[in-house]
A = this chain, B = another copy of it.
Amino acid sequence: MHRASEDHRSVAFPHLVLPLLRDTARLLGAEPDRVALFMASGTGGWEVALTNTLPPGAQVLLPCAGHFANLWGDSARRLGFAVETVPEMEWGDAPSPERIASILAADTHHRFAAILVVHNETSTGVTADLPAIRAAIDKAGHPALLMIDGVSSIGSLEYRHDDWRVDVAITGSQKGLMLPAGLAIVAFSERALAAANTVTGPRAYFDLRPMLAQNADGYFPYTPSIPMLYGLRESVGMLLDEGLDQVAQRHARLARGVRAAVAAWRLPICCRNAASTSNTVTTIMTPAGIDARKIVSHAFTKYDLSLGGGLGPLAGKAFRIGHMGWLNEGMLFGALGLTAMALTDCGVPASAADACAAAAAVWHGDAS
């Protein structure tokens, strides 16, 4: 009778939780006993990562050229950490492993306790090269923890937590996992976990210790959202069934088609280096004098199409096409065709035909 509110303490509950943690860990390439689920948006995951592993006031290095890196930095500052950004990065740049290596090499006193990297910067459509960054840290022989935000990458792009020796990874339920927001998934390394047991800063809701202790038995320290757990089981299962390599390849193939279409419109993308283009989101710059907000709003109102708006300094100057989750070529033909129509309506002549031609050339080898 009172099941909805009570059964997260029932004897049956671990039968849901324990396999779910195992599969979620498999999705991230981590061990299950180092993965925790918090009831929060991905933003809450940032706080889990920082407060559980860093001493109060610790200094962190942030390659920052995007809205979500900015926000993560803000969170860190508001939590009392000292944030130093990698200099001379511009929006559209990926974090440079070389520059990170040289900054860390110069940090002989190991002031940096962690380096925070947004794996896939949703605002600019840029993907960081995590293995190269890991190698840069190793090369510098620096003990900083590598923390990554995988909100718009994990479940869509290749991600190998343990193989890549990431120390803390965060993702949310609402992007690659195709659920509503509400779950922050956080994976740790053994080293990060050890830190969680020694750091002394204030933390309560996001305290990892009771969470891992209870998760180990299949429970939660406070009422979890049971529908979200069932949803996560479903979406993790779908991704594992498709195969993580296949999922990554599908996103790569679809994204190449989207970029070809954008190229056909002769609109620049925000990402400044072809090797760093994101396979989950493409950020497109609008010509001077055209308010990108109008395009987004027009597409939504007239064509029932949800484009992402430009974020932060890109507000009004760029819009975004998302291409993660259960997409196929058909849905993207539609998105590209409608985007072309919305662009043209807003004063940016763009051909639906050229876009579809370019995408079809990529997806199907059609002569373009």
Contacts and interface: CB of A to CB of B under 8 A. Distances in A.
Given A78-B203, A181-B223, A360 B340 contact: yes
Contacts of A4: 174, 178, 180, 325
Contact of A330 (B182, B334, B344): B334
A2, A12, A47, A325 — most chain B CB neighbours (10 Å): A2
B352 A364 contact: yes
Contacts of A75: 204-205
A222 B43 contact: yes
Interface stretch (A135-143, A240-248, A304-312): A304-312
Contacts of A121: none
A218 interface: no
B356 A352 contact: yes
A3 interface: yes
B42 A306 contact: no
Contacts of A297: 11
**Interface size of A as a range:** 35 or more
Contact of A40 (B39, B303, B322): B39
A341 interface: yes
A353 interface: yes
Given A5-B175, A39-B41, 19 more contacts: A1-B331, A2-B306, A2-B322, A9-B308, A11-B300, A40-B40, A41-B224, A43-B205, A74-B204, A78-B203, A180-B225, A182-B228, A304-B330, A333-B338, A337-B359, A344-B364, A353-B353, A353-B356, A356-B357
14 contacts: A39-B44, A40-B205, A41-B222, A42-B222, A43-B204, A46-B205, A75-B205, A78-B207, A182-B228, A303-B328, A333-B336, A341-B363, A353-B360, A353-B368
